[in-house]
Amino acid sequence: MVDVIVVGAGPAGSTTARHVASWGLDVLILEKRDEIGKPVQCGEFLADREEVIGIFPQAKGLDELDTVPPEVVQRRIVGIKIFTPSGRENVIPFKGFTVNRDQLDKHLASLAQEAGAEIARGVVVQRLTGNEVVTDKGRYRAKVVVGADGPTSIIARSSGLQPPSGLSSALTCQVDGDFEPYVEMHFGSVAPGGYAWIIPKKKCANVGLGVWNRAESSRVRSLFNDFVSQRGFIPRSIAGGQVPVSGPVDRTVLKNVLIVGDAAGHVMVTNGGGVNVALICGRIAGECIAANLLNNEPLQRYEERWRAVVGSPLAVALRTKRLADKFFGSNRRLEFAMRLMGPKRMGRAIRCKRVFRR
Ligand SMILES: Cc1cc2nc3c(=O)[nH]c(=O)nc-3n(C[C@H](O)[C@H](O)[C@H](O)COP(=O)(O)OP(=O)(O)OC[C@H]3O[C@@H](n4cnc5c(N)ncnc54)[C@H](O)[C@@H]3O)c2cc1C
């Protein structure tokens, strides 16, 4: 029996494990992939610490962002260009950087290992029964089990918690070339209910799109092919994935189980970014588990704490997204709404702030 089992060595799992292990507790991460972070299913764009604090003023730590090794960082980003359906450009200053996501995940896992966590790779978790984690390589027991196993979380499903109900289908690829230091977001019928992106890296870019609407998921491949070919790009490393777009789930703690990151819907739904939120909530999860095991504090404190730190911005983003959904059905209506908003309000939406201030 170990103190804590964390399922998933993504940003949420490794950060949770790191913060539990730093208190001297035994932590075992179970990761189904043989190599952490691969294949990459991500746009690989992260907001700078300063931007993250602007969005989540209560967030603490985030030293993970300061310690990202220079070779993992690909490109500094100075802004986001948002394109309306007619191609009208809106420039929003926004500081961030792109990374090699597989290397970032390995870096976060190494921080967990340095703190004392163990990682078992190539272990597929099949279900949770009581406090026993059943895998293809045997059974493991723990006092606390963490589901950091992504948007379709098996831990959420087998513990009685619910993973996010709304998932957007997304496809991404890499294309070669030199790109300006701006992330591009293209809205309209190019990606119904979602957006298409071009995210610059060193001598290449990630190009992809997500359709944030169940009805359009079957068309994601043809929409993606159209977007890529219309720009003359030759795609390589095509990868798909799912992004939670229904906001945080109602409940993230049940008995001795908690869920974090995509498994808990910890994603900013106005931009699809989840890595920064996973780092914030992973730290909170780790600290609350340590307080539970060492000082008998209720595990439920985790739910209260993450809601106090990221709950309100994520809820504002969800409301903005639901409002935007009313315009997504027609390019003409969306064009009108986006022109009415202008770049300032678009920047507020991206940063999970109320678009129209009271
Ligand atoms: C196409 C795409 C582009 C994106 N672009 C961006 C972006 O540019 N910036 C950004 O911030 N966010 C982006 N996101 C979202 C971001 O990738 C996620 O929010 C982030 O990865 C969440 O981290 P996590 O640790 O919760 O989950 P994950 O990173 O999904 O990690 C989950 C881990 O659990 C493991 N796992 C799953 N099931 C099991 C099992 N049964 N047994 C053992 N291990 C298991 C997986 O192998 C994985 O390593 C994008 C998502 C997609 C799909």
| Residue 327, pLDDT score | 84
How close are the terminal C-alpha atoms of the chain, in Å?
Answer: 53
CA 188 – CA 210 distance, rounded (Å): 12
Q: What's the mean pLDDT when you consider all of the chain?
A: 95
| Residue 210, pLDDT score | 94
276-333 per-position pLDDT tens digit: 999 999 999 999 999 999 999 999 999 999 999 999 999 999 999 999 888 888 999 9
Pocket of ligand 1 (CB under 6 A): 7-13, 30-33, 41-46, 124-125, 148-150, 154, 170, 172, 208, 241-243, 261-263, 267, 272-276, 278
CA of 256 to the centre of ligand 1 (A): 23
Which residue lies with its CA nearest to atom 53 of ligand 1?
241
19-29 per-position pLDDT tens digit: 999 999 999 99
Measured from the Cβ of residue 264, the count of other Cβ atoms closer than 10 Å reads: 32
- Res. 61: pLDDT tops 80: no
H/E stretch holding 75 reads strand 73-83
CA 281 – CA 147 distance, rounded (Å): 12
CB 250 within 8 A of CB 162: yes
Q: Please state which CATH number belongs to domain 2-72+98-166+245-350.
A: 3.50.50.60
Which residue lies with its CA nearest to atom 19 of ligand 1?
274
| Residue 213, pLDDT score | 66
Among 343, 309, 279, 302, smallest CA distance to 64 is for: 279
| Residue 234, pLDDT score | 96
22 beta partners: none
Which residue in the block uniquely carries the two structure tokens 């996501």?
101
Q: Domain-by-domain residue ranges, the chain?
A: 2-72+98-166+245-350
122-139 per-position pLDDT tens digit: 999 999 998 899 999 999
Q: Which residues contact 90 (CB under 8 A, 6 or more apart)?
A: 81, 82, 83, 84, 338, 342, 343, 346
At residue 228, what is the residue type?
V
pLDDT band at 87 (very low <50, low <70, confident <90, very high): very high
CA of 57 to the centre of ligand 1 (A): 24
257 beta partners: 145, 254
Average pLDDT over residues 331-343: 95
For the record, the structure tokens of 18 come out as 């790191």
Q: State which ligand 1 atom lies nearest to the alpha carbon of 37.
A: 49
| Residue 189, pLDDT score | 92
Q: How many CA atoms lie within 13 A of 280 on its CB side?
A: 28
Average pLDDT over residues 262-288: 97
Which residue lies with its CA nearest to atom 35 of ligand 1?
8
CA 180 – CA 200 distance, rounded (Å): 7
- Res. 358: pLDDT tops 70: no
CA 334 – CA 340 distance, rounded (Å): 10
162-220 per-position pLDDT tens digit: 999 999 999 999 999 999 999 999 999 999 889 999 999 999 999 999 997 666 778 89
* Helices 331-350 + 312-325 axis angle, to 10: 170
